[in-house]
Structures are given as C-alpha cells and as structure tokens.
Structure 1
Amino acid sequence: MFSFFRAVGVWLVVGFISQLLIACESTTVEPARYGSLEGVVLESRNNTPVVNAVVTTNPATSSFLTDAQGKFTLPALTTGKYTLSIRKAEYSPQDIAVTISEAAPTAVTVVLERANSANRPPNAPTLPSPADEATNVAPITLTLRWRVTDPDGQSDSLRSDVILYESTSTTRRQLLSNSRDTSVTVSNLKFNTIYFWQVTVRDQAGATVRGPVWSFQTATLPEHRYLYVREENGNTDIYAADVAGAGYRLTTSPFIETAPQLSPTRDRIAYTSNATGQFQLYTMDRDGTNARRITTLAVEGYSNPGIGYRWSPDGAQLVYAHYDQLYRINRDGTGLTLLATAPAGRHFRECDWTAQGNRLLVQTIGSNVFDSEIYLLNADGSNPTLLVGNLPGRVDSPSFSLDGRQLLYSHDVAGLNDVNGRQLDAHLFLQNLDGTGVVDLSGGTTSTLVGKPAGTNDVAPRFSPDGSKVIFVNRANDNLSPPEIWTIDLSRQNRVRLFANAFLPDWK
C-alpha cells in the first residue's frame, strides 16, 4: 500500500518537472522577408505616361505618386499578396492584385482609362453612300460607305459595326464588327429589293452611338439575253449579260457551276454543279437566287461533265444523260422516267428537244470522245434514227433549228482522233435532217466570208432566239488561251465576238 502511493508521488513530481522544462523553452521567431514593386501607369488611348497618379496598397503601406514618366517604386515591402490601387481625377480607378517576392522587383504596368464623365460619345455616323432611300442601285455587289467623327478629336480610333437586312426578312447580315473601316463591300444582293442598313460607332472608352437606319432599293431585273460560263482564279461560275454586254455573276460557290440554260418560259435557269461530288442538275431564279437541286442521278458519263441535258420546249421538263441512260424529269424533280438505253459500250452525251414533231437529238459516244454519233429520237425515246455517223475527228453539240428541220453541230475536219479530246480545226455545220444541204458556217470561201482564224476551233453552237444567227465558242486549238463567245449569221457573214474568257453560251 505504501509502495503504491510512493510510486504515484514519484510520477507526479516527474510530470511537474517536465512541464516546467517545456515552459522554459524559448519560442523561435522567423526573420522578416522583403521585396519591392516597380510600375508604370499609362493612358489607355495613346499609351502616354500618367503623371501624379496616387498609388496605394492594401495591406496599407505608404502612398506614392507617379513621376514624369508615369513610373513609381514601392521599396521594402514585406513579401506576400497586396491589392494595388491607382487613382487620379478624370480617370476610372484601377485595382490590381500583385504578389511581392524576395527575388527581383515585381514589375507591373497599369493602364488607366478616362472616366465616362470626361469622355464624350462619338457623333452619329453621317453621309451614307448610297444615299438614304436611294433607288435603282446597282445590285449583286455594292460598296457601302459612311463618315464617323468624334467630339474629343479621336476619330481615327473609332470603330464601326454594320448590319444589313432585307425588307422582307428578319435575318441580319453582320457586315463589319469592331472595324476601323468606313466602307464595306457586300455581295449577292437581289434585284428589285429594299435593303436596310445601320452603323454603330464605338470609341476607345466604350461609348457607343447607333446611327439612323438607312435604306436603298436595288434596280429591277434587266433583260439579260445571254448566259455563259467563265473560269477565274480556278473557280468556274455562271454569268448573265444583256445585249450591250453588261453582266453580272450568278453563282459564287467554290464548286463548278456550268452549262446554264434559261427555260423557254424565262422564269428559271437550269445548270449543273458538282457540289455533291457529282454533277447534278439544279435550277435557280434568273437573278441567281433560290437554287434548287432536282436530280439524284448524276448528269455524267463518257466526256460528259454535266453538259448533257436540255429543257423541254414548254419548260415543264428536262431531258438528260446519265451514263448509258437517257432520262426525262419534271422541273421540280419529280416524275423521273427512263427514255432510252444507249448501245452496248456507249454513253449518251449532249442532246436537244424540239417542239416540231416533239423529237430529240442525242449524241452517243464510246470510251473515246472522238467516237461520236448523232441520233434522232421521238420524245419518248423510241424510233432512233442515225443522222451523223462516226466521222474522223470529234463531232459534238447537236441542236435543232427553230423549225426543227435542220441539224447544227461541230466537227473537227482535221480528222484528229485524239484520246484526250483535242481538236485541230473544228467547224460549225448546218444540214437538213436527211443529210442534204450541208453548210460549213466556219469556212471562208470568198472575200466577204472571213471564216474562223487558223489554228482555232469553233465549238458548242446554238441558234439565236430568232434563228438568224448562231452563237458559239472559238478557242485556240492548244487550249491555252481563254475561250471566247462569238456569233455569226447563217449567211456566214458578220462574225462578231461577244465575250472574252467565256464558254458554253445560251441565248434566249
């Protein structure tokens, strides 16, 4: 019993002494660490120094003023995080977070903006071009212009947003966004359409002003008699032109749009495009809008890159070649009907359709483009009759005269059978359907009949709307110079060039 209490007492004494020893130990104190801050304060509009700006910190230290170069230095700052506050009258205050380290001085650049109370918003844009409510404005491509000014004399730093929308649509086209430009070119405008546009101007302080809503109306659709194809910068598109030669571009996609034909009812233009990877048949309005694909079976075959089709005389249907098959289709894409199948080893290529007797002209070719024949068929594909057999050299582009009694086509009289399709001396020929009365429209036999230039080919002929002329393409036989579109009278006189760098014409 005594031993137990004695032991307990010993442990209590030991514990008490231990606590005294712990209490007597000294507390370790870390030494203070210091860094510094160097900075510069600049004006937001022109990056000039801001003099005498007040710089303070939180946690609080001393306050400082920027010098003539906008610079300031805060020495001997305890390391850690601070909030730096910069203030000066007429400027919006700026607070930024910084971390001070013991290494090299921390460097900061502070940009101050003029306070809104000191900044005046820009003036509303003026001097629109075309003028507000202008009419008969040239369509398709147009440059819009306006003037901007700033009461603070900072017009060179103003930026503009521009929107454009049609009167019949709520869809807005953003033409410019935050741009220093005071003009913008807009394309793909429609004929006879009212457009509205508005410019919003913004200064460097962010003050904005919306200008008035201006409007203009484009010109009415002109009577364009010609359609053709042109290749520029590797892009092939469709163009239209009037009798004076003034024209415009109808298609602008990165794909090939080709072989345009105006319907007999003059309301839609048919053409082909390889936008799907194959040449399909499309139609569009005469101003190039409202394009609509109408085929799923391609307009393709031997040497037929989308050129083998034709409108029906009433404009309700089209006939087209799909490899060795000849189809008829309604203009809305319905009613696809197989009319004929080409002989074994041959494909259909170019074709035409006349109301006189409701008949078709079709060209068939073998795997070589110079292996060509021209047939006459009924409109339902029946009763094929050979009109032009396989002559030496290429035979292409059969078409009817207006009365349906004659056949127009091109033939390389040099007789070159080139597997790549090259021709040396292609002429235009007109003959009766029975093979009689052959006339060489390209040959010059007297002083009044000039004929085509040597070393060139006349190809792709079609009759004029009144039947007195032929429109066609002339190009150098090396195929290096751009093709040209010409016309010639049936009397073989008055050979006239219409368009340079153009091919596959249509004339309605």
Structure 2
Amino acid sequence: MRKLNILFFVCITLFVACSEEQIDDAGKGIVKGRVVNKVSFEPIANAKISSSPVTSTVFTDSEGYFTINDVPAGEYSFQAQKEGYLAKFEPANVTLNSTSQIVFELSVSSVNNKAPDVPVLTAPNDNATNQSIATKLTWTATDVDKDPLTYSVTLKNAATDVTTTYPDLKTASLDLTNLSYYTKYFWQVSVSDGINKPVNSVTFSFTTLPFPDGRYLFVKKINSNNVIFTANDNGEQLQISSANSNCYRPRRNNNSGKIAYISSDGSQNHIYTMNNDGSSIKKVTNTVPIAGFNMEHVGYSWNTTGNQIIYPNFDKLYKINADGTGLTQIYQTPNGKFISECVWSNDENSIVLKVNNNIGYEVEVFVISASGVVQYSVLSGISGAVSGLDITVDNSKIVYTRDVSGFQNLDYRRLDSRIFTFNTSTKVNTELVSNKLAGFNDLDVRFSPNQAEVIYVNTSNDGISSNNIQKISLANVESRVVLFSGASMPDWK
C-alpha cells in the first residue's frame, strides 16, 4: 500500500511539471515560400515541404508556392523534396503574428538522370547550296527526363577559317544574318541539360548564294597583302582571294568567265586566272614572268575573246594563251625602256603601250599593231608620272592620268595627277577638267562598260592616305561619286 502511495505522488509531480512547460507559449506565425529549379528558375509543383521541429507538411501548387499556417514561434529547418531533385534545407525564424519567406532552389538529381539525345539537324540539309545570306538553322533535341535544355551552335566559315559560337540558346533554332556570298559554312549543335556532359550533333555544311552581278573588281590591303574583292552596283562586297596571299591588278573577261590577276611566286610575279567566285586558280605564265620597274604600276590585258593575254617583261611585250601555252614575243622597245602598261583593243588589232625608264619617268604612250608595228604616238616628251591606261570599244579615245606638276623622285610620288583623254582621230590630248581637290591625285583610270563614265582612284598626294575608288560621268565632270573606300586598282566590266 505504501508503494502505491509513492507511485501516485511521483505521477502527480510529473504531470504538474509537464503542464507548467506547455503553458510557456510564445505565439504563432506563418511560413510562405516557393520552390524553383536552380538552373532555369522554373516553378516546381507538388514539392513536399516539411520542418524540424515538426509542424505541418504541405505541397507546392502549380506555380511552386506553399503556405504553412499556425506555426509556433521558434527556430526551424524547413525541407523541400521532389522526386528527381536533391532535397534542400533552409532555416527560418518564426515570430509572433509575422510571415517568414523561404525560397528553395532545387538542383536536379544526377542519379539515374540520362543525357539528352543527340541533336538532329533539320535545316538546311547537309551540303545544301544557294542558301540566303540570312539563313535560319533548325534542329530537334529530346530529353527522356524532361530536363530543360540549352543549346550552343558553332559556325565555321570555310573561306576564312573564322569560327563563331552562339551559346545559351533556349530554342531549337538560330537566325543567321550577314553571311558572306558564295561561301561554304560548317555548323554543329551542342545540347546540355545542365546535369550531364553536353551532347554534340553531327556536322552539316551549306553554301550561300553566288554573289549577284559583281561587275566591279578592286584590291584592299589586309595584313600588308593586296586582296581581291568583287562588288555589285549596291556596294555589296565579296572577298575572292586569300588574305594570306598578295594578289593584285585583277582584270575580268566576261567572255571566258575568268578573272586574271598578278601574284607573287617566290622572287617572281606571275599571272594567274580564277573563276568569278575565286575558285579554280590556274597559273598562266611560267618561264617568263610579268616584270617591270615597280609591280604596283605594271599591268597586262586580255584579248576580247578571253583566250589570250598580253603582258610585259621589262622591255619586251609577250602574248600567251590563257592555258599557259603559246608564249610569243610581240614587241621590244628599241631604246631599252620598260613597258609598264598595255591595253589590247576590242577588235584585237591595236595595242596601247606605256613605257618609261627604270624609275618610272621619261614616259611615252603609243599604239602598236597586233604584230608589233608602231602606229602613232599618244604622249611623249613630258616630265612626271603617267598611270592608268584604257581605250574605248570603238578605238576613238584613249584615257590615262598624268602628274601635271612634272615632279619626279625615287619614291615615284605624284603631286597633281589628273585625267586626260586622247582623240585617236584628231590626235589631241584633252584634260578631263573636274572638281579634284588640291593636294589629291586621280590615278588608275579606266572606261566604264558603256564608255559614258570613267572609274579611277582618288587619294591624297601624301602617299600614305587611304585610297578611294570614284567615278565621273564624261557628260558631267563635276559629278564625282565615291564607289568604294580603302580600295585601289579598279576594274569595271
């Protein structure tokens, strides 16, 4: 009986002690929050939210939000759980009549997570041709785990070897703009789910449209090399020779569909031909190179049909077939002067020559027959430099530029070079008076295809300023129009 009394007393004591601890109530608060994907920040629905110490267990709604009401005040650790994601804990301090905010950023669990499938390139097709310079790339990609995917596209220009990467794409397409004409591109897509290693597609290629009606040719300096460009009437330009080679003085022949040009080959310079797009390069000259007093001021000429070329080698003029055969000497200067420029008439009966001494002066311009017989003089007995030479289709006029200052030095600097025409009937030279600025030179003049205009290079006489290709109407010589900046050695067919 005594033992029962003692047990009853102990129970009463414990009951009173417990009742006194529960009476210490600091109040209740609210916990709100959201669960999102750590990478994409997209909401995660139906994620389980629990706490320690234990309160209520709730689940997020379709937007990833949750609310836990009537949470006793105190320090808690809340947990967010969702299948396929790593569980995340966040601390919270719940106070009386206040709302605590929590954001869970869940990382996708890599356990049993599979990498995306290999992307499938859908457009353009592999080896597609005639693609616009504004082309859309498309592909498809799937992920068995439905992970959000990001893409990276690698694009390589086969002509320049320049590679461009377009990272962090959210959609399976890419709009490309300002591509180069008639250029081959390689492209590849890489897909990532943010968990596994990126997966690469196969590599496709496509080629853009041919350059539209590129009637102009000229050169620009790139890394100390002359590089050939073609351009259309809209001013759109296409590089057609490598920036790693010194290629200059381009001349187009429409009948053969070829462009001739000069390029270095060791210590010599030779004439080459290529297609209008820069392909199918062929060396024309071999045993006798093209040569003169200064290769920046040496030229050559096609015949009309495009199967032969004439060119100088110091004091001699040669004719050669466009395939490199049939080398024949046409003419040799009797006084040892160097032939610098030559133009073959449209009827192929006459050739206009410019000759000079070994530093470019004591210039003579005259016309010989196709067999090498001198016919008449155009210009002689003057001081200063002469450059640029052309003849009209009907042989009625010859055009050239001459430094009227008569200045001569070893650097071949010109101070006041102007455009002149020679009437082959009256044998009179006439200056094409225009609004050329003082201190500037007009150089490398040629007739337009319709003979109504001339194209030429205009530049400061300081010898270091940029060159600009301009044109003038013969009917309105005040109408100077800049066609291309930073360019020289024009040709217009």
Asked if the contact 1:272–1:307 (Cα under 8 Å) also holds between the matched residues in 2, the reply is no
Query: SS state of the match for residue 410, structure 1?
Result: strand
Change (3 A) 1:174 1:372: closer
Identify the residue that residue 486 of structure 2 maps to in structure 1: 501
Identify the residue that residue 362 of structure 1 maps to in structure 2: 353
Letter in 1 for 2:324: G
Using the TM superposition, give the Cα deviation of residue 336 of structure 1 relative to its aligned residue in structure 2, in angstroms: 1.1
Work out the CA distance in 2 between the residues paired with 1:402 and 1:153: 70
Between stretches 378-387 and 142-151, larger displacement belongs to: 142-151
Identify the residue that residue 272 of structure 2 maps to in structure 1: 282
**Is 1:481 the equivalent of 2:472?**
no
Work out the CA distance in 1 between the residues paired with 2:290 and 2:440: 28
Query: SS state of the match for residue 279, structure 2?
Result: coil
Identify the residue that residue 100 of structure 2 maps to in structure 1: none
Change (3 A) 1:155 1:260: same
Using the TM superposition, give the Cα deviation of residue 194 of structure 1 relative to its aligned residue in structure 2, in angstroms: 8.7
Change (3 A) 1:207 1:266: same
**Is 1:386 the equivalent of 2:377?**
yes
Q: Deviations over 1:459-482 (max 9, x none)?
A: 111000011111111100002211
Q: Aligned-residue CA RMSD in angstroms?
A: 4.2
Change (3 A) 1:373 1:175: closer
Asked if the contact 1:319–1:329 (Cα under 8 Å) also holds between the matched residues in 2, the reply is yes
Asked if the contact 2:352–2:368 (Cα under 8 Å) also holds between the matched residues in 1, the reply is yes
Asked if the contact 2:384–2:408 (Cα under 8 Å) also holds between the matched residues in 1, the reply is yes
Using the TM superposition, give the Cα deviation of residue 287 of structure 1 relative to its aligned residue in structure 2, in angstroms: 1.1
Describe how 1:281-300 pairs up with structure 2 within 5 A.
281-296=271-286, 297-300=288-291
Q: Deviations over 1:52-80 (max 9, x none)?
A: xxxxxxxxxxxxxxxxxxxxxxxxxxxxx
Asked if the contact 2:211–2:238 (Cα under 8 Å) also holds between the matched residues in 1, the reply is no
Q: Deviations over 1:131-157 (max 9, x none)?
A: 999875346x9997979897697978x
Using the TM superposition, give the Cα deviation of residue 417 of structure 1 relative to its aligned residue in structure 2, in angstroms: 1.6
Describe how 1:37-436 pairs up with structure 2 within 5 A.
118=112, 120-125=114-119, 137-138=131-132, 191=182, 198-199=188-189, 208=199, 210=201, 216=206, 218-265=208-255, 267-296=257-286, 297-305=288-296, 307-356=298-347, 358-383=349-374, 385-433=376-424, 436=427
Letter in 1 for 2:316: Q
Change (3 A) 1:215 1:305: closer
Identify the residue that residue 467 of structure 1 maps to in structure 2: 451
Q: Deviations over 1:478-497 (max 9, x none)?
A: 02211101111123422211
Using the TM superposition, give the Cα deviation of residue 385 of structure 1 relative to its aligned residue in structure 2, in angstroms: 3.7
Asked if the contact 1:122–1:209 (Cα under 8 Å) also holds between the matched residues in 2, the reply is no
Work out the CA distance in 2 between the residues paired with 1:306 and 1:239: 19
Using the TM superposition, give the Cα deviation of residue 345 of structure 1 relative to its aligned residue in structure 2, in angstroms: 3.4
Change (3 A) 1:415 1:467: same
Letter in 1 for 2:389: P
Work out the CA distance in 2 between the residues paired with 1:126 and 1:208: 11
**Unaligned 5+ runs, structure 1:** 1-115, 167-172, 445-450
Between stretches 396-405 and 236-245, larger displacement belongs to: 396-405
Work out the CA distance in 2 between the residues paired with 1:176 and 1:497: 33
Q: Deviations over 1:357-393 (max 9, x none)?
A: 6110111111121221112111122335432113111
Change (3 A) 1:341 1:500: same
Letter in 1 for 2:118: A
Using the TM superposition, give the Cα deviation of residue 159 of structure 1 relative to its aligned residue in structure 2, in angstroms: 8.3
Using the TM superposition, give the Cα deviation of residue 185 of structure 1 relative to its aligned residue in structure 2, in angstroms: 10
Change (3 A) 1:195 1:162: closer
Asked if the contact 2:119–2:199 (Cα under 8 Å) also holds between the matched residues in 1, the reply is no
Change (3 A) 1:126 1:407: same
Letter in 2 for 1:125: P
Q: Deviations over 1:409-444 (max 9, x none)?
A: 111111112221101100000011366343211x24
Letter in 2 for 1:429: F
Change (3 A) 1:186 1:237: farther
Asked if the contact 2:303–2:348 (Cα under 8 Å) also holds between the matched residues in 1, the reply is no
Change (3 A) 1:398 1:259: same
Change (3 A) 1:474 1:430: same
Using the TM superposition, give the Cα deviation of residue 214 of structure 1 relative to its aligned residue in structure 2, in angstroms: 5.6
Asked if the contact 1:176–1:184 (Cα under 8 Å) also holds between the matched residues in 2, the reply is no
Work out the CA distance in 2 between the residues paired with 1:250 and 1:336: 28
Count, aligned residues: 380
Change (3 A) 1:351 1:221: same
Using the TM superposition, give the Cα deviation of residue 120 of structure 1 relative to its aligned residue in structure 2, in angstroms: 1.6
Asked if the contact 1:397–1:459 (Cα under 8 Å) also holds between the matched residues in 2, the reply is yes
Query: SS state of the match for residue 230, structure 2?
Result: strand
Work out the CA distance in 1 between the residues paired with 2:233 and 2:161: 36
Asked if the contact 1:269–1:283 (Cα under 8 Å) also holds between the matched residues in 2, the reply is yes
Work out the CA distance in 1 between the residues paired with 2:157 and 2:239: 21
Asked if the contact 2:154–2:187 (Cα under 8 Å) also holds between the matched residues in 1, the reply is no
Counting aligned pairs with the same residue, the percent is: 31
Change (3 A) 1:293 1:409: same
Query: SS state of the match for residue 268, structure 2?
Result: coil
Using the TM superposition, give the Cα deviation of residue 354 of structure 1 relative to its aligned residue in structure 2, in angstroms: 0.6
Query: SS state of the match for residue 495, structure 1?
Result: strand
Asked if the contact 1:164–1:198 (Cα under 8 Å) also holds between the matched residues in 2, the reply is no
Letter in 1 for 2:119: P
Q: Deviations over 1:81-136 (max 9, x none)?
A: xxxxxxxxxxxxxxxxxxxxxxxxxxxxxxxxxxx984522343378787999875
Change (3 A) 1:118 1:497: same
Work out the CA distance in 2 between the residues paired with 1:164 and 1:236: 21
Query: SS state of the match for residue 254, structure 1?
Result: coil
Query: SS state of the match for residue 329, structure 1?
Result: strand
Letter in 2 for 1:120: K
TM-score of the aligned structures, taking structure 2 as reference length: 0.65
Work out the CA distance in 2 between the residues paired with 1:337 and 1:411: 31
